[in-house]
Chains A and B, each alone.
Chain A
Amino acid sequence: MISGTSRARRTNSLLWLLAVLVPVALAGEPESIQRQSVPELWGLEQLMVELGRLQHSQARFIERKYLKVLKSPLELSGTLEYDAPSRLVKRTLEPKPETLTVEEDRLVIESPARGRSRTLRLAEYPVLWAFVESFRSTLKGDLAALERFYQVALEGGPQRWQLSLTPRDPKLSALIESIRIDGSKGRITRIEVRETQGDRSVMTVLEGAP
């Protein structure tokens, strides 16, 4: 009645629901973090410093979503672009073009096929924000921001490392079990998100510009 069934609006109302059903209270300072033991010379700080050196990067990605509701995984592909310190663009090309741009505290969703774009403030959608920061803060090498949302654990060495992120807030952990980020030196190679209901998505970041 009030508006057509434009997808952009629908996306927005879904986000609203997301905010409604699974909000996260972000007030308060993070408690002190218990770090796992890591090799003496190389650790989180060093990894973060190395990651933080990156000013600009571009890569292709392939994302596979293993969802319980589906018999076979969904596959999406496109490009990723990062500009330090806070701009991140995920451009899905296949199967349907869609662009997500995160800049500072805004998320812009553009669907060229429908000629619509929508801007959201991350502060209003805490779950989405936490999700964005798992990726962006890692790229930025911002350990403090990462630890605000997650308990962070590091395994492996400089050549091949693995970050495990566990949500701190019970409301977020009701949705997301863990996020695992694999990398090599100052580069991210793979992100795996495990959801509590058994759904899981794996994004492989392919080296080199598209």
Chain B
Amino acid sequence: MKLRGRIVVLVVWAAAVAACAWLAWHSRYTTDLSAFLPRSPSPSQRILVEQLHQGVVSRLVLVGIEGAPAPVLAAISDALTQRLAGAPEFAYVSNGAQERLTADGEFLMKHRYLLSPGVTPERFTLTGLREALENDVELLGSPLSTLVSRLLPADPTGELQRLLELLEPESGPQKRHGVWFNTDGTRALVLAQTHAGGFDIDGQERALARMRSAFDAAAEQRPTGVRLQATGPGVFAVAARAGIEQDVARISILAVLIVSVVLLLLYRSPLALILTLLPVASGAIAGVAAVGLAFGSVHGVTLGFGATLLGEGVDYAIYLFTNRIPGSEPGRSLARVWPTLTLGVLTSVVGFSALMFSDFTGLAQLGLFSIVGLIAAYAVARFVLPQLVPEHFGVRPTAGLGPALTWAADRAWLLRVPLLVLVVGSALWLTLRSGGLWDDRLESLSPVAESDKRLDEAMRRDLGAPDVRYLVVAKAATEQAALEVAESVGAMLEHARQTGALEGFDSPATILPSDATQRTRQAAIPETDILRETLDQAADGFPFRKQLFEPFLQEVSAARQAPLVSAGDLKGTGLALRLESLLVAHNDGWIAMLPLRGVRDPGLVAAALHDANGVELLDLKGEADALYHSYRGQALRFALIGAGAIALLLLASLRSPRRAAEVLLPLVAAILVTCTLLTMGGRQLGIFHLVGLLLVVGVGSNYTLFFERETFGRTDPQRMLLSLALCNACTVIGFGLLSLARAPVLSAIGTTVALGAFLSLLFGAILAARMRP
């Protein structure tokens, strides 16, 4: 090439790299794991996923304090709760101690005549009042008289008690020394709610930091060994992000180091090493820039894929150098390799492009990053690298390796029978194994470590948070309409409860009745004078002092005129937290959620709700599993389409079914055996493994292509085998290191592709047509 052309190429390349680097530098980087929770299909599933993301559930932090005798833990729990109560990061903090609950008691007492369902016209009739007073006398005889006699003058009809009955936690946490504890008294429990959503990881991190410093201050003179344990969606997200950040940095550095060492050992030339890494570096920068442009932000996990790009991107330069015979005309030997390399790039690109249509934003990013990165690396290797290589530059690979590989490859066909046995065995194993091939639980996408999950479950159990499976969801245009729907659904559910279909349920309308209901209750209260007269009559024959119920008469008549209770009045109580979890603003409407307890007959419950409009009975476990199922179905579809497209591409460019089959056969064998290896020991495959299998086709075909008879015949076998082995080693190193990552998406794809790529090469060699001399 003329000098001028050379300069033009280099200038264009430098400018492109600079532009991409600028873009990459200015991209926003995220590690929000929700990118790996898919966008969801049905509306009810969307609610589910949204609640997972930002709902009150996602903002809960469960805190355990361990490692000291119970009284010490209780004292620390109190101190911690007090310090956190005023912190701006937390909306609510409670350890079960009275102060917090008193706020609830005061709220209920103040608004009892608007909140209690006992406030009906019948309640204030002669019969209704007599019944209430009879009840009171009975309670005064019990050991509870201390309390009853104090409440009696203001609340003879027992509305506060009725409200407590309704709102009493079904299985509240155990208490010791006045605060929540686990069953055996070894862990004090605190429940906190952050302002930040569970997936606002920065916000969650600030909240956690605040909690840690508050704990350190609270436990200043603690005995050694006292520790703070926190779990919850936000805590997990923070831990996962830290994990991803560490993993990505560690894996990328390791991959570069190991690949460099391998290349140095073979090339024994630092210049060759630098030139080999040049296309990869350009590709990575271009990939990041493209993702930043297309998605607005770059996910940390995507950067983790840089390691795999390294594995494949170095291939082009390796072919370039190892197939270049020193002193010879560089063009000729390479001219034979480029068509195959180009086809290899295309198959990889087709494989990765199936990812781009995924509902998982994260996977779509991985797809785009890999495609752009590979094409850029390929282009740099093909057009830029030759301009940079000094004339007469060539690599003399370590002696002995080439002949050894040739010797092995010549005899590889001997393994065809064992390979057949292995493939048939794998196929049988995969069809016959019990327990199913696929892990169908949504949790399998979760990046949370098993031990953290167990701790979280234990604390949830101790805190008596019921494991809700069935949930009634009611949609309405306004908050009031949602509450009204919740009330009518509540009536239907109460009816179903009496038939034994379920044990009970929670409703936002229990905590905050609709305005209409509150007005009905106000209307049920008679005029003060009339009520006074009826009460006097009712009290006749009971030993109550005269004028005793004056506070009652005053408060009940005040309630008739009182402003209606709104959500704002709940501020600062634990009830606000409950209301917020049951009544949420959603898009342009409101959603009321009524979790059901002890559902014995879902069919009966569904039938009871038959007439309700805009109301849905959700089986959360069923929905979650169906959701996952649909994601997997989609991933499977994309994988099949991707594999089919690769097959078509091979068929079209090789122009022969036989040649295409020679390329594909080793891949099929590699996939079967990879699946078998992955599922050994009872493990199951998830969505990310499936994605990995597709990449095995895209990446593995790069190796089997060269074993195809006609391609192989055109090359120098020894140099070709050497470059194949080297390329494969780099790919296996890149993906193999990825399998060490803690994020399931990275480790699953890494393991699958590393195994599959290695097996593709091996099986390709075994199945290759016998080489001619």
A-side interface residues toward B, CB under 8 Å?
Answer: 1-3, 5, 7, 9-28, 65, 67-72, 74, 76, 92, 95-96, 98, 100, 121, 123-124, 126, 128, 131, 175-176, 195, 197, 199, 201
Q: Is residue B162 within 8 Å, beta carbon to beta carbon, of the partner chain?
A: yes
**B753 to chain A: closest CB distance in Å?**
53
Q: How far is the CA of A12 from the CA of B168 in the complex (A)?
A: 10
Chain A interface mostly helix, strand, loop or mixed?
mixed
Given A3-B504, A68-B149, A14 and B166 touching (CB < 8 A)? no
Given A13-B165, A14-B139, A17-B105, A1 and B144 touching (CB < 8 A)? no
Q: How far is the CA of A206 from the CA of B273 in the complex (A)?
A: 102
Query: Would B98 and A23 count as touching, CB distance under 8 A?
Result: yes
User: Assuming A14-B161, A16-B168, A23-B97, what are 5 further A-B pairs, CB within 8 angstroms?
Assistant: A1-B490, A14-B164, A16-B164, A65-B141, A69-B140
Measured between beta carbons, the chain B residues less than 8 angstroms from A175 are 146
Task: Write the chain B residue with the least CB distance to A26.
Answer: B177
Q: Which of B45-53, B540-548, B688-696 contacts A (4 or more CB under 8 A)?
A: B540-548
Q: Is residue B663 within 8 Å, beta carbon to beta carbon, of the partner chain?
A: no
Query: Would A27 and B74 count as touching, CB distance under 8 A?
Result: yes
Q: Which of B144, B166, B505 gathers most chain A CB within 10 Å?
A: B144
Chain B 149-160, CB-CB to A under 8 Å as 1, else 0, gives 110110000101
Q: How far is the CA of A124 from the CA of B74 in the complex (A)?
A: 13
Query: Would B149 and A2 count as touching, CB distance under 8 A?
Result: no
Task: Write the chain A residue with the least CB distance to B505.
Answer: A2
B-side interface residues toward A, CB under 8 Å?
Answer: 71, 74-75, 97-98, 101-102, 104-105, 117, 137-150, 152-153, 158, 160-162, 164-166, 168, 174-178, 490, 494, 504-505, 507, 510, 543-545, 548
Measured between beta carbons, the chain A residues less than 8 angstroms from B510 are 1-2
Q: How far is the CA of A123 from the CA of B105 in the complex (A)?
A: 21
- Set B117, B140, B164, B177: member contacting A17, Cβ < 8 A: B164
Q: How far is the CA of A18 from the CA of B142 in the complex (A)?
A: 13
Query: Would A67 and B165 count as touching, CB distance under 8 A?
Result: no
Measured between beta carbons, the chain A residues less than 8 angstroms from B176 are 123-124
Q: How far is the CA of A201 from the CA of B98 in the complex (A)?
A: 27
9 contacts between A and B (CB under 8 A): A2-B510, A5-B162, A18-B144, A69-B545, A71-B543, A74-B140, A123-B175, A124-B176, A131-B143
Query: Would A20 and B178 count as touching, CB distance under 8 A?
Result: no
Q: How far is the CA of A20 from the CA of B490 in the complex (A)?
A: 28
Query: Would A2 and B504 count as touching, CB distance under 8 A?
Result: yes
Given A25-B177, A70-B545, A14 and B148 touching (CB < 8 A)? yes
Task: Write the chain B residue with the least CB distance to A73.
Answer: B543
Query: Would B168 and A69 count as touching, CB distance under 8 A?
Result: no
Q: How far is the CA of A67 from the CA of B136 in the complex (A)?
A: 13
**B233 to chain A: closest CB distance in Å?**
28
Measured between beta carbons, the chain B residues less than 8 angstroms from A71 are 543-545
- Set B97, B142, B149, B162: member contacting A69, Cβ < 8 A: B149
Q: How far is the CA of A123 from the CA of B507 in the complex (A)?
A: 31
Q: How far is the CA of A24 from the CA of B149 in the complex (A)?
A: 20
Query: Would A70 and B166 count as touching, CB distance under 8 A?
Result: no
- Set B75, B147, B152, B161: member contacting A27, Cβ < 8 A: B75
Task: Write the chain A residue with the least CB distance to B173.
Answer: A124
Measured between beta carbons, the chain B residues less than 8 angstroms from A21 are 98, 102, 105, 147
Task: Write the chain B residue with the least CB distance to A195.
Answer: B146
Q: How far is the CA of A128 from the CA of B152 in the complex (A)?
A: 20
